[in-house]
Amino acid sequence: MLRPVMMFLGLIAMPLQVFAASQSVPSIDGALFAAIAGASPGDVLLLDPGPHQGPITLDKPITIDGQGKANVYGDKTGSVITVTGTDIAIRGLKITGSGSSHETIDSGIQLHRTAARVLIENNHILGNLYGIDIHGAKNVTVLANTIVGRRDHRMNSRGNGIYVWNAPGTLVERNDIRLGRDGIFVNTSKRGIFRGNLMRDLRFAVHYMYAHDSEISANISVGNHLGFALMYSDRITVRDNMSLADRDQGLMLNYTNKSDLVGNLVRGTGGKCLFIYNAHRNLIGDNRFEGCGIGIHFTAGSERNAMVGNAFIANQTQVKYVGTRDVEWSFDGRGNFWSDHPVFDLDRNGIADSRFRPNDLMDHILWSQPAAGMLLGSPAVQLIRWSQAHFPATLPGGVVDSFPLMKPIEIRVPEEITSLELAARANPVWLRERTENVSDPLASH
């Protein structure tokens, strides 16, 4: 008696995949609806090449596989694919035809809060208002998708490539995102990983609001208005990202605390490589800030941030910091590299023999009174700078690096990414498409 009971218990404990069936779905109207309705948990629906009528809702653990040749299209209302169930996979599809309502977040794929453990991979999600909306779902993986948004004249009328709201455990990796508003927008969420994504021709590549305990790593932002905007968020790891030829800022920390910014490259930003506003207790180390209008703009009482191992190379203004006291930018005998610091290293320990102040009194005057720039070549300005060089007591408060480095950190950019950077620099999208910025995208932040 015991043996039959044990066999029965073993059968019901077996995973659904053991009993799963693969079913071909023809490219005719209504076929996909019928296949989903008749599918059993664990089934794999293999869509034939060609168009498949939507919109569809997935509420059971099945796999939809377009094998790279099937197009699921919507009727221009709502979302094309809505996911309400668990343990679902969506792969190999072209997804088009969402509605245009921001109120209902019309998307190529929309996941509701009842969804969990959903895999979205290798899809082409094209021309929808939002690409993927993860709205309260848990443990979702978004892998290796191509998402191309809309080209509405007003950039703020477009949707985001990937929108994450209150979705703990989200993994977004190796996606290619273009056009639309923000590439990845994370709001009121935690424990997410956003890794290895390429984002172009957007407002913000990555936009964080009230998102904590998460990772942003190895992402590339090219030719956007702003690379990585991190706001009101704590305990974030921002590592090995690149911001190349972005318009206004490469990295922004706004009320972001207890976070690590390490090994990032910001190059060729017209405005600021890094903007720090009221952000505290962050580690900013081993980053390379190169060829920007301002290397770092440090303001609004940001305190107790460790600045070490960074390279400031050929920025028009290396640092903009206005304060009445000195702020040390080194840690444990190691500072930063400054391309405009003429130095010697007689003991060959890799540390310059003289400390460095990136700003002087004239910088402070010019920031508060820009018209004074007309006097830069005058004897009065030369006298001020001579006095500061010979009488340090006349120096204002500001950044001091007591242990400047002799060599900068090197961060290699792949050739194919350099090509995208050069193209964005030569023909930026904000000039090419003349997007309307009546309300500038940065004005409200």
**CATH, range 22-325:** 2.160.20.10
- State whether residue 338 is helix, strand or coil: strand
pLDDT along the chain (445 residues), means of 10: 48 51 94 96 98 98 97 97 98 98 98 98 98 98 98 85 98 97 97 98 97 98 97 97 97 96 97 94 97 89 88 93 79 92 79 74 50 53 55 63 92 97 86 52 43
CA distance 229 to 299: 16
Query: Amino acid identity, residue 304?
Result: R
Instruction: Say how many residues make up the chain.
Output: 445
Nearest to 184 by CA among 200, 95, 168: 200
Query: SS3 breakdown of the chain: % helix, strand, coil, rounded to 5?
Result: 15, 40, 45
Contact 130, 158 (CB under 8 A): no
User: Please, what is the angle between helix 379-390 and helix 361-368, to 10°?
Assistant: 140
- What pLDDT is stored for residue 405 in this prediction? 93
- What pLDDT is stored for residue 402 in this prediction? 86
- State whether residue 376 is helix, strand or coil: coil
- What pLDDT is stored for residue 441 in this prediction? 43
Query: What are the phi and psi torsion angles at 181 (to 5°)?
Result: -100, -85
For the chain, the structural domain boundaries read 22-325
- State whether residue 392 is helix, strand or coil: helix
User: Could you tell me the CA-to-CA distances from 93 to 11, 72, 167 in Å, in that order?
Assistant: 34, 7, 23
Owner of token pair 């994450």: 164
- What pLDDT is stored for residue 231 in this prediction? 97
CB neighbourhood size of 10 (10 A)? 9
Query: What are the phi and psi torsion angles at 3 (to 5°)?
Result: -65, -45
Instruction: Please state the pTM of the whole predicted model.
Output: 0.87
Return the bridge partners of 86, or none.
116
Contact 209, 186 (CB under 8 A): yes
- What pLDDT is stored for residue 16 in this prediction? 44
Contact 337, 404 (CB under 8 A): yes
Give the side-chain half-sphere CA count within 13 A for 142. 33
Nearest to 355 by CA among 369, 382, 371, 336: 336
- What pLDDT is stored for residue 2 in this prediction? 47
End-to-end CA distance of the chain: 70
**Tens digits of residue pLDDT in 228-248:** 999 999 999 999 999 999 999
In angstroms and rounded to an integer, the radius of gyration of the C-alpha atoms of the chain is: 26
**Tens digits of residue pLDDT in 252-283:** 999 999 999 999 999 999 999 999 999 999 99
